[in-house]
Amino acid sequence: MVLACEAESYGLPEAQFRRVENFGKPKEVGQAMQFSRRQVLAGLAATGLLALSARAEDFLSIDAHNHVDVPLDGTAGPNLDLRGELDRAGLTAICMTFAVDYQPIREPAQGYQRFLHGLDAMDAQLARNEMTRALQAADLRAEKLTVIQSIEGAHFLEGKLERMEEAYGRGLRHFGLLHDHDATPPLGDVFTNPEAFGGLTQLGAGAVRECNRLGMLLDMSHGSDKAVRDALKISTRPLIVSHTGLNTRLGSNPKMARMMLPRLIRAELAREVARAGGVIGVWTHLADSADEYAANVRAMVEVVGVDHVCIGTDSKLTPPPDGSDRGRTNSGWAGGGFYFVVAAALRKAGFSPAEIAKIGGLNYRRVFAAATA
C-alpha cells in the first residue's frame, strides 16, 4: 500500500490518494469500473511509475499472453468476471488466448469447430462484461478495459488459409501459428517436438504472408529456432514471441527447469527478433517472487534492449474449469494485483518510470500497431 507521505511527495491531492487505498478491491461493472481505471492511474503516479513527461492517457498495462478458459463444445460455460479480474490485476488489456489442441483432434474439421465454439463463447463473455475486442492500436487506451483476441496454434486452418480471413472478421488480431501438437496439415516445427519439417512448411509460410496481408500480429511462440527464423525472413512486419524467457534463467526448481528449457529463447534468436522490430514477452514461469520476475525481465532487456520486451505471463486471468487458483494471474506472489506488484518490483530493480511504461504496454502497442495498420 502506498504511504500517505509518498503520495504527498508526488503532489497528489488527498482525495485522489484516498482512491489509491481502494486498489485491488472488487468493483461493479459499469460506471464504478470506469472510476477504477482512474484509480489505477492515480496509484501508479503515487508510486512514481508514471513518467512526468508521459500523458496518463497513453499509459497501458498489457499482458501479451493470458489464457481465458472457455468451453469449446458449443456450451455457454460459467459467467466470467473479465472486468473485475482486469481491474484487480491493474491491467488495461490482455491478449485473450485459447487453444484447440489441448485434447487430441481426432475428426476432420474438429479443430475448426472447436475454434468457432471458442469464439462464440468469447463473444458471450465479452457481451456479459460490456466489453469489446481491440481491433486496432487506437482501441488500446488507458481508460478502456479491453482484450486482444488471440489463438494459440492455427490447427483450425486444416489446410485452408482462407479461414484466416474469416477469423479476422470475427475479431482475431493476435495469431499464434504453433502450439504443442502438430496441426494437420502441419505448419512448422514445434520446439518441444523432434524436428520434422526444417522450419516452417509451405502452409506455415503462407499463413505468415496472410497475417501480413490481413493485418494480424504474428506470434511465433512454440516455434523452433528454424521456424522463427523462417518467419522473420518472410514477414514484412514485426512479430512477437509472446511468452518465454532467456534460456540462461532457469529458476530454482531443477525439475521445472528441465521441462521449461526447450521453451526458453536463446539470446541470439531474441536479438534477431528485436532487430526486425519485434518484441519478446517474459513469462512468470521460473520466477518464485516478483523480484525474481523483475530480474528475468532485466536479463532480457540486457540482451535485446528495453524497446523490445513486454509482459507475457502465460497465466489465467479467470478461474480454470476446476475453479482453482492454479496458474492464476492474481495469485501466488502476485497477490491480488498482478501489475501493481510487478511495476513496483521493476522500479525496485532500477527501471525508470518511462522504461516500465514501455515494458508494461507501450512496446506491445507499437508492434500491434505495425502489424494491424
Mean pLDDT of 131-146: 96
Give yes or no for residue 370 having a pLDDT over 70: yes
Give yes or no for residue 37 having a pLDDT over 90: no
Q: How confident is the model at residue 29 (pLDDT cuts 50, 70, 90)?
A: very low
Better pLDDT: 300 or 54: 300
Averaged pLDDT score across all residues of the chain: 88
Mean pLDDT of 210-233: 98
Same domain assignment for residues 7 and 145: no
Q: What percent of the chain has pLDDT over 90?
A: 80
Same domain assignment for residues 164 and 267: yes
pLDDT tens digits, one per residue of 98-127: 999 999 999 999 999 999 999 999 999 999
Same domain assignment for residues 160 and 25: no
Same domain assignment for residues 332 and 362: yes
Mean pLDDT of 28-56: 46
* Diameter of the chain measured on Cα atoms: 64
**Contact by Cβ (8 Å): 179, 155:** yes
Better pLDDT: 326 or 239: 239
Q: What percent of the chain has pLDDT over 70?
A: 84
Put residue 152 in one of left, alpha, beta given phi > 0 → left and psi -120 to 50 → alpha: beta
Mean pLDDT of 84-107: 96
Better pLDDT: 336 or 120: 120
Same domain assignment for residues 35 and 159: no
Q: Containing domain of residue 43, as a range? A: 1-48
Mean pLDDT of 19-24: 36
Same domain assignment for residues 1 and 88: no
16-25, 40-49, 128-137, 301-310: the lowest-pLDDT one: 16-25
Q: How confident is the model at residue 48 (pLDDT cuts 50, 70, 90)?
A: low
Same domain assignment for residues 79 and 181: yes
Give yes or no for residue 138 having a pLDDT over 90: yes
| Count of structural domains, the chain | 2
Q: What is the pLDDT of residue 326?
A: 84
Give yes or no for residue 213 having a pLDDT over 90: yes
**Mapping DSSP to helix (H, G, I), strand (E, B) and coil, where does residue 242 land?**
strand
Give yes or no for residue 167 having a pLDDT over 70: yes
Mean pLDDT of 147-166: 98
CATH number of the domain enclosing 62: 3.20.20.140
Same domain assignment for residues 126 and 2: no
Which residues neighbour 319 within 8 Å (Cβ) at sequence distance 6 or greater?
Answer: 69, 80, 325, 328
The CA-atom distances, in angstroms, between 70 and each of 21, 82, 118, 323 are 33, 12, 6, 13
Grid cell of 170 as nine digits: 470475427
Q: What is the pLDDT of residue 45?
A: 57
Mean pLDDT of 122-139: 97
Count of all residues that appear for the chain in the document:
373
Tell me how far apart the alpha carbons of residues 28 and 10 are, in angstroms, rounded to a whole number. Answer: 29
Same domain assignment for residues 148 and 131: yes
Q: What is the pLDDT of residue 323?
A: 79
Concatenate the DSSP letters of all residues of 55-86 into one string.
-GGG---EEEEEE----SSS-------HHHHH
Same domain assignment for residues 233 and 345: yes
Same domain assignment for residues 77 and 30: no
- Helix pair angle (338-348, 31-46), 10° resolution: 10
Element (H, E) at 238: none
Mean pLDDT of 187-193: 97
Mean pLDDT of 81-100: 96
Number of neighbouring beta carbons within 10 Å of residue 54: 13
Same domain assignment for residues 16 and 61: no
Give yes or no for residue 3 having a pLDDT over 60: no
Task: Tell me the β-bridge partners of 67.
Answer: 97, 316
Give yes or no for residue 244 having a pLDDT over 70: yes
